[in-house]
Amino acid sequence: MEHPREEELIAFHDGELNGRERVQEHLRTCAECRAELEKIETVFAAMDAMPVPDPGENYGQRVWAAISPRLPERQPRWWEGFLAPRRLVVAGAFAAIIVAAFIAGRKTIAPPKVDDRVDMAKVRERVLVVAVRDHLDKSEMILVELSNAQPNPASGKLVNISAEQHRAEDLLGENRLYRQTALNEGDQAMASTLDELERTLLDIANSPEEVTPARFEAMQKRLESRGILFKVRVVKQGLRERSNPAKQQPVPQRNISKTNTKEGNQV
């Protein structure tokens, strides 16, 4: 066999060459090529012998300390929070539960009589109203906490909003679900309030865990200008009144915020 070329010997050393057996066989019988391979190995051995000084255990922290003051502020794009994988997972999980419940319901429960169907629809709607009210209660708590907090701008101390942030993140998935349901039911008013609430929750969830007093104040102003707290309270009040049959007013459209209309008509 012909002597392998230098690049073939390098590839052989790297373990990459096709036809390794052929070269290996040749090396067994050819002292010249073995010496050639040895020279190549000397180069790699010398490279291996080159030390890289250890930059120290806390090197990563030092790098961070050096670059963090030079990092620009990053403003998230509104859709990035919406499309964040974790949130998609939450939304997907909700969707999966609903689909599973729907399929299970269809397969396991015998078709009810017409009267039963009306009753079941009422029950479902009532459950939904209670769930939306509970969701709005939780959202309201976050909004109140943020609106009432009074950081001292003079102190320059960062305001920690991590607790509110995590709760807002948790509420985002169900908010989307309720908004979508309201849209499907044709309840534009409810869908619109939930849409605004969603944007507010996103804003909170995407903020850093600790913000400067100035940034916190800007956030409070945004909440105030949107009037979201007031809108949430109005919707909640509406739901409360409608879930109370005694105070209920008949409303022609069937939707979440008017779920007890039928109930009221029947009373």
Partner 1 sequence: MTQMNASVESGPVTNVVPDAVAVERTLAGDRDAYRVLVERHSQNVYRLAYRMAGNSHDAEEIVQEAFLRGYQKLRQFAGQSNFGTWVYRIAANYAIDRMRQRRVEDSRRELPSRASEDGQETDPLSMVKDSAPSPERLAGSSQLALRMQQALQELTPAERTAIVMRHWDGCGIEEIATVLKSSTTAAKNTVFRAVQKLRTALEPFAQSRAKAMGTE
By the criterion CB under 8 A, which residues form the site for partner 1?
A: 6-7, 10, 14, 35, 38-40, 42-44, 46-47, 49-53, 55, 57-61, 63-64, 66-68, 70-76, 80-81, 84-86, 205-210
Concatenate the DSSP letters of all residues of the chain into one string. -PPPPHHHHHHHHHT--TTHHHHHHHHHH-HHHHHHHHHHHHHHHHHHT-------TTHHHHHHHHHGGGPPP-PPPHHHHHH-HHHHHHHHHHHHHHHHHHHHHHHHSPPPPHHHHHHHHHHHHHHHHHHHHHHHHHHHHHHHHHHH----TTT-PPEE-HHHHHHHHHHHHHHHHHHHHHHHTT-HHHHHHHHHHHHHHHHHHTS-SEE-HHHHHHHHHHHHHHTHHHHHHHHHHHHHHHHSGGG----SS-SGGGTTHHHHHH-
Nearer to partner 1, 32 or 115 (CB): 32
Nearer to partner 1, 209 or 241 (CB): 209
Taking the complex as a whole, the smallest distance from the CB of residue 215 to partner 1 amounts, in Å, to 11
Taking the complex as a whole, the smallest distance from the CB of residue 41 to partner 1 amounts, in Å, to 9
Nearer to partner 1, 206 or 220 (CB): 206
Nearer to partner 1, 160 or 180 (CB): 160
Taking the complex as a whole, the smallest distance from the CB of residue 225 to partner 1 amounts, in Å, to 20
Taking the complex as a whole, the smallest distance from the CB of residue 7 to partner 1 amounts, in Å, to 5
Taking the complex as a whole, the smallest distance from the CB of residue 227 to partner 1 amounts, in Å, to 24
Nearer to partner 1, 49 or 114 (CB): 49
